[in-house]
Amino acid sequence: MAGHHYEHVEYEVERGRARIILNRPEKRNAIDDTMHRELADAMWAADDDTRVRAIILKGNGPSFCAGYDMGQYERPAAAGHGSARGRQTFDDDAWRLERVQRLRMSIFDLHKPVVAQVHGHCVAGGTDLALLCDMVICSDDARFGFPAARANGSLPNHMWLYHVGPQWAKRFLLTGDAMTGADAQHIGLALKAVPASELEAEVEALVDRMTLIDPDLLACNKRIVNLGIELMGGRTLQRLAAEMDARAHLAKSREDFRKNTMEHGLREAVRMRDAPFGDDLIRR
């Protein structure tokens, strides 16, 4: 094996595959700025490595990814420093959302296929990562959703429409409700769900098959599908998603959430946001 050294991401190469592993298990792999940058760097490193034909994206610890790091809610909106932007105007917010979106879009833009290996929670920002991958394989007890849509904003990436269609996309995003991996495979949110004990073997076996294919052909066949998504407006929709999230950040509910966080702490603010929804698991 060979690897690059990162703070919040692990990177390893073996048998024609790169494994890129989100590595903040104490935070359930919540995405912060460092992880955004390291993840993009690791993706492009794998794309550049001639030993690699396919990439697996997975997470250490109990979850694939529990979303974006919400520490920003524990302090007022950042002011600028020197000539650098703060986060006090609509355009400041949109600019920052677009900047980190460009890092996430590396998953979509790579020439090599990326398989998401999802276990535990895959919520909010976790779905932004997983749904940019070429295929999602999950444990049947995984949990998908975007609960932040209840109060905190919109989705800064939006691939839901292309995976599950407009009605299921709205069912998730207009309620913030969640779905198990077992059900997610039936609506196209995941390609396949398997028992958690079989997840790694399932993903590795799929990638074994990909490594038998000429990498130039893998690139052609990934990119023609992704170009088709672009012809259906996929890339434009991602740009619009970042701007729509900045608009959503102007909602009163977001400011209320920030005040609750600063007054009661993040855990209690999340409980207050989600408690009215009770059992929020979607059952097909």
3-state SS, the chain, equals CECCECCCEEEEEECCEEEEEECCHHHCCCECHHHHHHHHHHHHHHHHCCCCCEEEEEECCCCCECCECHHHHHCCCCCCCCCCCCCCCHHHHHHHHHHHHHHHCHHHHCCCCEEEEECCEEECHHHHHHCCCCEEEEECCCEEECHHHHCCCCCCCCCHHHHHHHHHHHHHHCCCCEEEHHHHHHHCCCCEEECHHHHHHHHHHHHHHHCCCCHHHHHHHHHHHHHHHHHCCHHHHHHHHHHHHHHHCCCHHHHHHHHHHHHHCHHHHHHHHHHHHCCCECCC
The CA distance from 229 to 169, in Å, is: 16
Confidence (pLDDT) at 284: 81
Confidence (pLDDT) at 79: 58
Do the beta carbons of residue 248 and residue 146 sit within 8 Å? no
Burial class of residue 220 (count of CB atoms within 10 Å of its CB; 0-12, 13-18, 19+):
exposed
Rounded-to-10 torsion of CA 6, 218, 195, 13: -30
CATH code: domain 9-199+215-277 is 3.90.226.10
pLDDT by 10s per residue, the chain, length 284: 345 789 999 999 999 999 999 999 999 999 999 999 999 999 999 999 999 999 999 999 999 999 999 876 666 655 555 545 666 789 999 999 999 999 999 999 999 999 999 999 999 999 999 999 999 999 999 999 999 999 999 999 999 999 999 999 999 999 999 999 999 999 999 999 999 999 999 999 999 999 999 999 999 999 999 999 999 999 999 999 999 999 999 999 999 999 999 999 999 999 999 999 999 999 88
Rounded-to-10 torsion of CA 97, 99, 103, 106: 100
Q: Where are the domains of the chain?
A: 9-199+215-277
The CA distance from 133 to 121, in Å, is: 17
Confidence (pLDDT) at 2: 43
pTM of the model: 0.93
Confidence (pLDDT) at 5: 84
State the distance between the two ends of the chain, measured CA to CA, in whole angstroms: 43
